Amino acid sequence: MSILIKDLKYTYMPKTPFEKTAIHDISLEIQKGEFVAVIGHTGSGKSTLLQHLNGLLLPTEGEVFIDGEKITKKNLSEIRRKVGFVFQYPEHQLFEDTVYKDIAFALKRFKLSDEEIDAKVRKAANTVGLDEALFESSVFDLSGGEKRRVAICGVLVSDPSYLLLDEPASGLDGKGRRDMLALLKKLNSEGVTIVLISHSMDDVAEVADRIILINEGTVALDGTPGEVFSKEELLASMSLDVPEVTKLFNDFSKRSGIPLPTVTTALQGREIIRMLINEGRLVL
């Protein structure tokens, strides 16, 4: 069970003066249950790649397989039931009169009773922590965080195996961002494979167990957060940063002369400090 990408290439507006190859020579596999972050500077091809994983775009060259089934024009409905997509701006996928109708919209294509639809809507709302008191509200009266939760609900009602998200925490305040990341970690722990795009390296380090770096339309790095964020100079050459805690411990290591592994989260940092104190190499 996986997403398999083989020799993927996509060209916008081919055979015109505006022709542009956005991604090329991409081959990789995302296993069921992974939490993957896709990073790269603006225009690197991240969103183009993500849109191939549920057939929003079809390859100019190459192939994409979902659980062994190649994505084609003929099976898009089936693929999109397995692979849900949440856009960066939830307004782009919210359009019904009420929150309830918007969440239930995807279920109209299935032969379900009103009771079955209602059960799925309420289950999805409970999963993402959306207050049922909002069901009769207009989606356009909601906060940014609430809109994103409704958008995720509208995907989860179809019970997807894979969830793709483009900048899911963009524009949220501190609490909204933490709540969104906690929700995604919860969904992943319950078996949903998560693939997200983010410009926040702190967010990426907090939730992802694998990072795919896209640069100039192809994969430049693919590894754990520790492996990717250990390449601070390489990332800087691509106009990318590392998490703040990584900078802090890198600076400490240089100043103290104590070699340290790449620290990517505050939790790892606390463990390193505790270890150094216990070993007598750090005195507070």
Q: Is residue 63 within 8 Å of 69, Cβ to Cβ?
A: no
Residue 89: per-residue pLDDT: 81
Residue 201: per-residue pLDDT: 95
Task: Give the residue range(s) of CATH 3.40.50.300 domains in the chain.
Answer: 2-242
Element (H, E) at 23: strand 20-31
Residue 188: per-residue pLDDT: 96
Q: Which CATH architecture has domain 2-242?
A: 3-Layer(aba) Sandwich (3.40)
Element (H, E) at 234: helix 232-237
Return the C-alpha torsion angle 260, 266, 270, 273, nearest 10: 30
Residue 185: per-residue pLDDT: 95
Instruction: Give the C-alpha separation, 219 to 229, whole Å.
Output: 15
Instruction: Give the C-alpha separation, 152 to 106, whole Å.
Output: 12
Residue 172: per-residue pLDDT: 83
Nearest to 139 by CA among 184, 181, 90, 188: 90
Nearest to 132 by CA among 121, 141, 144: 121
Q: Which residue has the tokens 């896709």?
A: 38
Q: Count Cα atoms within 13 angstroms, Cβ side, for 234.
A: 11
Q: CA of 103: how far to CAs of 80, 120, 132, 239, in Å?
A: 15, 9, 12, 38
- 158 forms bridges with which residues in the sheet? none
pTM of the full structure: 0.91
Per residue in 157-183, pLDDT (tens digit) is 999 999 999 999 888 888 888 999 999
Residue 72: per-residue pLDDT: 96
Low-confidence stretches of the chain (pLDDT < 50) are: none
Instruction: Give the C-alpha separation, 228 to 234, whole Å.
Output: 9
Instruction: Give the C-alpha separation, 177 to 191, whole Å.
Output: 22
Tokens standing for residue 79? 């693929």
